Amino acid sequence: MTAPLLAPRVARLGLGDEPSLAALLAGDEVAHLFLIGFLSSHPIDRAWWYGVLEGSRVRAAVLVLPDRLAVPCAPDPDDASVLGAHIASRHRPCLVVGPRAASDHLFERWSPGRGPRRIHDQRLYRLESIEDRPDPAGFRLAVWDDRAVVATQSAAMEREDLGTDRLGEPDAHDQIVQDRIQGGRTWVIEREDRIVFQVNVGTTHAVGCQIGGTWVPPEHRGHGLATAGIAATCRRLLTTHRRVTLHVNEVNHAAVRVYEKVGFVRDAAFRLLIP
């Protein structure tokens, strides 16, 4: 006799769900690198993971960092809708980023009747090998004394790229910048006592790492600094990681040209939604 099918249910995930969640994310380890890295470095029962479960199998999930970020993994976008409805009474809508269909469905049910204030079509890019070349002059890890300049330029990057201004939350913004510098996760190019390029290393895991926050001050653009700095950073990262990934707004053609010149190739279509 065939066992009856169990109706899917939605619940906050706990320790017993971790193997199934890890298996779900491994189905596309490039697209879900951030979630894989987060799960490996933060206890599942101390974070806000929600899942659509079929029996004991997690078939879709979303990680919510309250008031900051939500990242879905939902191969079936209808499951993302279910997750959005579930978290609507538990968390205020915040920035959503992830594969396009899943992100759209999640946000629509999370914030019904109120569309996002900003929508950015992004593209995930990946890099798995790079030609060996010397570092550009002035390329180095950021140091503690760089923190004020790096924080100011990081805020300028977010205003230009996303239309948001983290300088409105100076303490939190500065703390993030300082933590990255102390952790050896910010690389810069310095020329004539000016930081003319910076980039951050975010998620790191055995399956890969992710970079972001690329910035060259407007007066220093057009001289190949971004291409040289990204390439030098990736050469270091690829000595210990299988791949490097990043997200870029598809309308930022200058940035796309830089990344493709370094050797990054197009991968999944992403969406970033700002309430």
Tokens coding 244: 């490097």
Residues 72 and 145 in one domain: no
Whether residue 135 is found in the same domain as residue 107 = no
Indicate whether 95 and 36 sit together in one domain.
Answer: yes
For residue 142, is it within any domain? yes
Say whether pLDDT at 168 is over 70: no
- Asked whether residue 182 is domain-assigned, the answer is yes
For residues 235-249, give the mean pLDDT.
96
Question: Residues 150, 259: one domain?
Answer: yes
pLDDT in tens, 205-223: 989 999 999 999 999 999 9
Could you give phi then psi for residue 67, rounded to 5 degrees? 65, 10
* Same domain (yes/no): 192, 236: yes
Q: Average pLDDT over the chain, rounded to whole?
A: 94
Q: Is 90 inside a domain boundary? A: yes
Instruction: State whether 165 and 91 are in the same domain.
Output: no
| For residue 7, pLDDT beyond 80 | no
Query: Residue 167: which pLDDT band, with cuts at 50, 70 and 90?
Result: very low
| In a shared domain, residues 174 and 109 | no
Instruction: Indicate if the pLDDT at residue 76 is higher than 90.
Output: yes
Instruction: Tell me how many domains the chain contains.
Output: 2
154 and 261 in a single domain? The answer is yes
- Claim to verify: residue 69 and residue 172 sit in the same structural domain: no
Q: What is the pLDDT of residue 160?
A: 87
Residue 164's pLDDT is 72
Whether residue 200 is contained in a domain is answered as: yes
Query: Residue 170's pLDDT band (boundaries 50, 70, 90)?
Result: low
Query: In the structure encoding, which two tokens stand for residue 43, read together?
Result: 């206890």
* Residue ending a domain, choose from 85, 115, 145: 115
Report d(CA 95, CA 171) in Å as an integer. 20
Among 60, 82, 115, the domain boundary falls at: 115
Q: Answer whether 273's CB lies under 8 Å from 103's CB.
A: yes
Q: Is 50 in contact with 14 (CB distance < 8 Å)? A: no
CB 125 within 8 A of CB 255: no
Domain span at 169: 127-266
- What is the pLDDT at residue 130? 97
Residues 90, 212, single domain; the answer is no
Partners of residue 63 on adjacent β-strands: 49, 71
> How far is residue 168's CA from residue 181's CA, in Å, rounded to a whole number?
21
* Position 4 in a domain: no
Question: Mean pLDDT, to the nearest integer, of 103-129?
Answer: 96
How high is the pLDDT of residue 169?
64
Query: Confidence band (pLDDT; 50, 70, 90) for 146?
Result: very high
Q: What is the pLDDT of residue 199?
A: 98
Mean pLDDT of 112-126: 94
Is the pLDDT assigned to residue 145 strictly greater than 90? yes
The whole-number average pLDDT for the span 79-91 is 97
